[in-house]
Structure 1
Amino acid sequence: MPLSPLDIHNKEFGRRLRGYDEDEVNEFLDQIIKDFEALIRENKELNNQVSAAQDKLGHFSNIEETLSKTIIVAQEAADDLKSNAKKEAQLIVKEAEKNADRIINDALSKSRKVALEVEELKKQAAIYRARFRALVETQLELLTQDGWESLDHREPRGIEA
């Protein structure tokens, strides 16, 4: 068992002839007691400081562990978000491609329909033109017949000259 300052203080030495000077020994023991008490106090302070440092170290270790876990969770969340964004972008692109194909197909269909209508109108215009030409030619033929000339030389009825 280690010595305490009280053990040193209470220590009594046996007496002999021609022994050490009792006052010097007592003074030396008093000095040892003071130094020993100072060392004990310093040791307690150092132990308290070590304990406080260990507590802080434990606290900071917990913070470090928590931060590491947080960083891992944040990284996983960022990876998930990036993956989801990529998937969503792919879906948007596919949907846009479908819409573009639909719009192009609709435009082509309308273009074909308009082209057919134009052709039909051209045919109808050609038929109308041919009929109109035939009508005009018939009317011109009627005008050039001999019967019109006899009408030109007669006097109008009901009018006397």
Structure 2
Amino acid sequence: MVLSPQDIHNKEFSTKLRGYNVDEVNDFLDQVIKDYQIVLQENKDLNSQLNEAKDKLSYFNDLKDSLNQSILVAQEAADKVKTNSKKEAEITSREAQKKADDILNAANEKADAVLEEASKRAKKLAIETDDLKKNTRVFRQRLQVMLESQLEVIKGSDWDRLVEEKPTTTYEDIEKVVGSLDNIANPGVQSETKQSNGAADVEETPATVDDSNQTVVIYPDGRTQNE
């Protein structure tokens, strides 16, 4: 049992012969009581401080646990947000890639269609151009043969006799020479080149031969017209 200052103060000692001085002992006990009271008060204060420190430690421990729990919750929430953001980014990226692929495929299909159409037109134009060249060559050959035939007729001896300055030329002679010219011009000239693939005929432009007083129009089919 711990002594109290009151226990020390009330303590009585028995006396003996040649014992201690009572006044000195009482003075010493008074000093012990004072020091003991100080020590007890300090011990009490220390216990109070210790209790306060324990309370604060408990509070901070609880706060630490709460903060740790909050950190865990925040970390979980951040992980969820990060995961959701990643998923949304992947979905957005896939949708954007799909749209880009669709646009690219549509553009490629349109470009292929345009190229195919242009190729068809180019082939058609090439065929038409080739046919036009063939028809032009045919027309040129016909015209050349016809003009050469007409030139041969004009250079013939019948015309020479016709234009001689002799009174022996009769109307029958002139009619005979003109009739021979008509017989050569009317049958027409056959082409030596055949048209291929059923190409359409090109419109043939008539050629003209200018005489001294009139113009004779000579068509490729052998027809003539005086103007």
Classify the TM-score, shorter chain.
0.7 to 0.9
User: 1: distance between equivalents of 2:56 and 2:72?
Assistant: 24
Structure 1, residues 33-88: CA drift from partner, whole Å, max 9, x if none?
A: 00110001000111111111111211221222222222222222222222222212
Question: Match for residue 75 of structure 2?
Answer: 75
Secondary structure of 1:2's counterpart equals: coil
Give the Å deviation of 1:124: 5.6
Question: Match for residue 6 of structure 2?
Answer: 6
Q: How is 1:4-153 mapped onto 2 (pairs within 5 angstroms)? A: 4-122=4-122, 125=125, 134-136=201-203, 138-140=204-206, 144-145=218-219, 146-148=223-225, 151-152=226-227
Structure 2 residue ranges without an equivalent (≥5): 137-200, 209-216
What is the TM-score of this pair, normalised by structure 1? Answer: 0.77
Secondary structure of 1:117's counterpart equals: helix
User: 2: distance between equivalents of 1:102 and 1:141?
Assistant: 61
Secondary structure of 1:3's counterpart equals: coil
User: 2: distance between equivalents of 1:41 and 1:144?
Assistant: 151
Give the Å deviation of 1:115: 2.2
What is the TM-score of this pair, normalised by structure 2? Answer: 0.57
Give the Å deviation of 1:26: 0.5
Q: From the two aligned structures, give the one with the greater strand fraction.
A: 2
Partner amino acid for 1:21? N
Question: Match for residue 159 of structure 1?
Answer: none
User: 1: distance between equivalents of 2:34 and 2:206?
Assistant: 152
Give the Å deviation of 1:128: 6.6
Give the Å deviation of 1:126: 5.6
Identity score, percent: 44
User: 2: distance between equivalents of 1:61 and 1:128?
Assistant: 98
Q: From the two aligned structures, give the one with the greater helix fraction.
A: 1
Larger radius of gyration: 2
Q: Which has the higher contact order (CA 8 A, sep 6+)?
A: 1
Question: Match for residue 176 of structure 2?
Answer: none
